[in-house]
Amino acid sequence: MSLLILVLWAAGCAHRGVLRLSWSPLYWPFLAFLAIAIAQLLAGWSLDRVATREAVLKLVTNFLFFFLVGQLLNAHAGNGRTLEWFGLIVTLLAFAVCFLALAQLYWGHDRQMIYWTFPARGAPFGPYVNHNNYAGLMEMLLPISVAYILSRYWHSSLIFLFWCGVGLVTISIWISGSRGATLGLFVEGMVLAGILLWKRPRGIAPRYLVLLAGVLLICGITFSWLVSTGRVGGRAWSVFETHRSLGVTLGDRWRVGIDTLHMIRTHPWTGVGVGCFESIFPKYLSVPMEMHWTHAHDDILEAVAETGLPGLALILVALALFLRVAFHRLKVRLRYGWGWMQMGAALGVVGLLVHSLVDFNLRVPANAAWFVVCLAIATHPRSARRETPKVVWEPAEEPGGEFLTQ
């Protein structure tokens, strides 16, 4: 799919006779991380060549998505409206996936089935075999939905239906029983509240904070009623009970984290190889466990173990660049609908990064693809230029290349 979109984009540029490139500063750390993975593969530093080869393919695919979203949704002066339509599509997608998950939960004869057809072990929810992965997707889509609704000045019952959908998505995350996603949602909410209070976007009154608080209160009451009446399983309420074990205890995660640090200490400069954690980690497991650890339940720690200290440096650089670009001149951008979409995408990135400290959503291909889509929307500069020279490079700091009205 990524290659097909790339070919179509290139054909469109050739047809118009114009190549307009939108440049994101995150290209550099992304390409450098990909270069490390390729070097591990070619130089024989990887301890599992097959796993690293697969990881390189996934990284290339995600980079193509990252590049293409930046070009298709940000590079042209007339596509700010397209970015707003993207917000509507994401909102409808979140509602549809949420409805599927709840329908399978309530009207499925066997709750271990996906699409009422495919059996899955563990804790499937919606189209995912793991409840945490469903929640990871929703915490990226939900902020874009909220941003889209806040950017619309509707005076009809339609906005009420949209807020009901947001509440239903929030409840579905709690029903899934994902503590990491609940923490991510909390951080997203705090950042959004801070933006609305300190940035004071035009057209957004303090009453919107009361509205958001009211939506959360209604969600909490509805969720409590569903649990107390037995309409959802016991797993749902456990999202707020930290003493309960959901298969992988906090102590187990802590133990695996320490053993992963031992892996980093053994291979500090070259790492064990991107994608090699599952095959290499059993050698570093200090305490015998019945579980087979496919991932470290900490995406950052696992990435450092696989790429060494150079990978850690790139992660820190990328994080600093993201925070600088995604929230730069935010008050000015929030005057336009596309600015709200960028803010919602940035909040989705923040939420999943928080969740990734205790889980491995970035190792799930679908969630990783949505993550780079949100990252591209949040960090690519917007342009309002009308001229069409043959090649245009638009760095994020170029005067007139960002935050202009259409």
In SS3 terms, the chain reads as CHHHHHHHHHHHHHHHCCEEEECCCCHHHHHHHHHHHHHHHHHCCCCCHHHHHHHHHHHHHHHHHHHHHHHHHHCCHHHHHHHHHHHHHHHHHHHHHHHHHHHHHHHCCCCCEECCCEECCCECECCECEHHHHHHHHHHHHHHHHHHHHHCCCCCHHHHHHHHHHHHHHHHHHHHCCHHHHHHHHHHHHHHHHHHHHCCCCCCCCHHHHHHHHHHHHHHHHHHHHHHCCCCCHHHHHHHCCCCCCCCCHHHHHHHHHHHHHHHHHCCCCCCCCCCHHHHHHHHCCCCCCCCCCCCCCHHHHHHHHHHHHHHHHHHHHHHHHHHHHCCCHHHHCCCHHHHHHHHHHHHHHHHHHHCCCCCHHHCHHHHHHHHHHHHHHHCCCCCCCCCCCEEEECCCCCCCCCCCC
Give pLDDT, residue 404: 40
Q: With respect to residue 402, please indicate whether it lies within any of the assigned structural domains.
A: no
Give pLDDT, residue 155: 63
Q: Are strands 19-22 and 113-114 parallel, antiparallel or unpaired?
A: unpaired
Q: With respect to residue 6, please indicate whether it lies within any of the assigned structural domains.
A: no
pLDDT digits (tens, 9 = 90+) for 287-318: 777 777 888 889 999 999 999 999 999 999 99
The residue segments making up the domain with residue 113 are: 18-240+248-394
Closest CA to 369 of 59, 93, 79, 31: 59
- Average pLDDT for 146-159: 80
Q: With respect to residue 5, please indicate whether it lies within any of the assigned structural domains.
A: no
Lowest mean pLDDT among 65-69, 91-95, 149-153, 341-345: 149-153
Q: How far apart are CA 234 and CA 136, in angstroms?
A: 20
Closest CA to 297 of 248, 224, 228: 248
Q: How far apart are CA 371 and CA 352, in angstroms?
A: 8
Number of domains in the chain: 1
Q: Tally Cβ neighbours within 10 Å of residue 245.
A: 11
- Report yes or no: 202 and 137 within 8 Å, Cβ to Cβ: no
pLDDT digits (tens, 9 = 90+) for 340-352: 999 999 999 999 9
- Average pLDDT for 71-89: 77
Residue 82: pLDDT band (50, 70, 90) is confident
Distances (CA, A) of 245 to 39, 132, 255, 289: 40, 14, 15, 15
Q: Are strands 19-22 and 391-394 parallel, antiparallel or unpaired?
A: parallel
The more confidently predicted of residues 50 and 245 is: 50
Residue 106: pLDDT band (50, 70, 90) is confident
pTM of the predicted model, to two decimals? 0.88
Judge whether residue 76 has pLDDT over 80: no
Give pLDDT, residue 226: 75
Give pLDDT, residue 241: 55
Give pLDDT, residue 206: 64
Give pLDDT, residue 397: 43
Q: With respect to residue 11, please indicate whether it lies within any of the assigned structural domains.
A: no
Q: With respect to residue 266, please indicate whether it lies within any of the assigned structural domains.
A: yes
Q: How far apart are CA 18 and CA 77, in angstroms?
A: 13
Q: With respect to residue 401, please indicate whether it lies within any of the assigned structural domains.
A: no
Q: With respect to residue 274, please indicate whether it lies within any of the assigned structural domains.
A: yes
Closest CA to 340 of 61, 152, 148, 163: 148
Q: How far apart are CA 135 and CA 153, in angstroms?
A: 29
Q: With respect to residue 139, please indicate whether it lies within any of the assigned structural domains.
A: yes
Judge whether residue 401 has pLDDT over 80: no
The more confidently predicted of residues 255 and 370 is: 370
Which amino acid type is present at position 120? A
